[in-house]
Structure 1
């Protein structure tokens, strides 16, 4: 039997989801800059005060929308690691392609991710959203680290620091998106994300491969 406390928690989570669904609609239609908490409240048919019971600021609400994406990343990357039809080195490339495909198809999601790096953002976030986002980033890092380590243990990759390599790959992923945005904002020609991301990954991944190291040593 559900207790009163459990029902209260379920109701709280249901209302929080309702606010997030309304926010996705408004942010999607108007963009982040032109969206206000008042507009989200109207979409959710709630008062502005009710929104602030769950989210500290517009930034807090916006950032919370990445939670479902990060949960999906966790499940999909875990499944990818378990694919027996791919050798370990190919799994890292498949994970990279997965992230790039997501970035190409969810521009708003990539903007939410990059909002995390803005100075002073932590003060705008509730502990709940900050903890969820941090846990999601840690999860991504663990998956990338595990994929690099799998490649090392299978003999495909050199014995590098898997944790540091995962950090480099994630920084590269974010940097490619930032670079594309900067060029677009300046009206410069922008290469397809899939093209630039694939070239960047291959530059890093080729250096991990054992055969590349052997060629370099022979030279």
Structure 2
């Protein structure tokens, strides 16, 4: 009778180590920033040696890229699939996108990555370029499709999509920056309810602030003196 090999705790954890390292790296990147985070700290928090970390991620930059792909960039496949399958109105889709983004990114530790990139882009242009390629670019493309869907269906008026997408992005960036800067310092009476804020922004984006839409301006024909 063959006796199954004994698997030690160290061996059982080997396959889980990349995930543990990414979790530890994300926490430290958000807490300390990219520049101040040391790989030794990441390894220690994950409970492995620095050598083990380098087996999976040859450099801190590679580790950061893996964190971004795991927590944010890797979600664009499912988001695009959901856009294709969505059968509600385009206004409902806008609200769904913004709420979904908050639930899947804003409420998680990954929400701190945006602040990190914005704060340290000047010192680490390669990190900024990577984030542009993996997150910002695909995010812009997705939002363009959302707005174009509304235009094509006659639900939204024609607009300059290259700029209109920032009307959707700006409130979300504000929430992230608030969450990781002022929110921990503010009393409860001054805290922002993220879902309420998102709903308010969606309403403003879709309906504006005017009590009723202004009538389109028409050109008054010029009068010429009678001969």
C-alpha displacement of 1:95 = 1.0
Change in Cα spacing, 1:171 to 1:153, as seen in structure 2 (3 Å) is same
Gaps of at least 5 residues in structure 2 are 1-13, 217-227
Change in Cα spacing, 1:171 to 1:38, as seen in structure 2 (3 Å) is same
SS at match of 2:119: coil
Q: TM-score, normalised by structure 1?
A: 0.71
Aligned residues: CA RMSD: 3.6
Change in Cα spacing, 1:121 to 1:20, as seen in structure 2 (3 Å) is farther
Equivalent in the alignment of 1:168: 167
Alignment of 1:203-214 (within 5 A): 203-207=204-208
> Is the contact between residue 151 and residue 158 of structure 2 (CA under 8 Å) also seen in structure 1?
yes
Of 106, 122, 125, 2:124 maps to: 122
Structure with bigger helix share is 1
Highest CA radius of gyration, 1 or 2? 2
Counterpart CA distance in 2 for 1:198 and 1:62 is 32
Equivalent in the alignment of 1:55: 59
Counterpart CA distance in 2 for 1:72 and 1:52 is 18
- 1:111 pairs with 2:139: no
C-alpha displacement of 1:50 = 2.8
Gaps of at least 5 residues in structure 1 are 1-14
What do residues 54-113 of structure 1 show as CA deviations (whole Å, max 9, x unaligned)? Answer: 2245xx63454121233443122212221253123322221111112124430x201012
Change in Cα spacing, 1:121 to 1:171, as seen in structure 2 (3 Å) is farther
> Is the contact between residue 90 and residue 149 of structure 2 (CA under 8 Å) also seen in structure 1?
yes
SS at match of 1:152: helix
Equivalent in the alignment of 1:77: 79
Alignment of 1:23-42 (within 5 A): 23-25=22-24, 27-28=26-27, 32-33=31-32, 36-42=38-44
Equivalent in the alignment of 1:96: 98
Equivalent in the alignment of 1:144: 143
> Is the contact between residue 93 and residue 146 of structure 2 (CA under 8 Å) also seen in structure 1?
yes
Equivalent in the alignment of 1:4: none
Of 87, 90, 99, 2:89 maps to: 87
> Is the contact between residue 140 and residue 165 of structure 2 (CA under 8 Å) also seen in structure 1?
yes
Counterpart CA distance in 2 for 1:30 and 1:70 is 14
What do residues 29-62 of structure 1 show as CA deviations (whole Å, max 9, x unaligned)? Answer: 89633964113234343428937972245xx634
Q: TM-score, normalised by structure 2?
A: 0.68
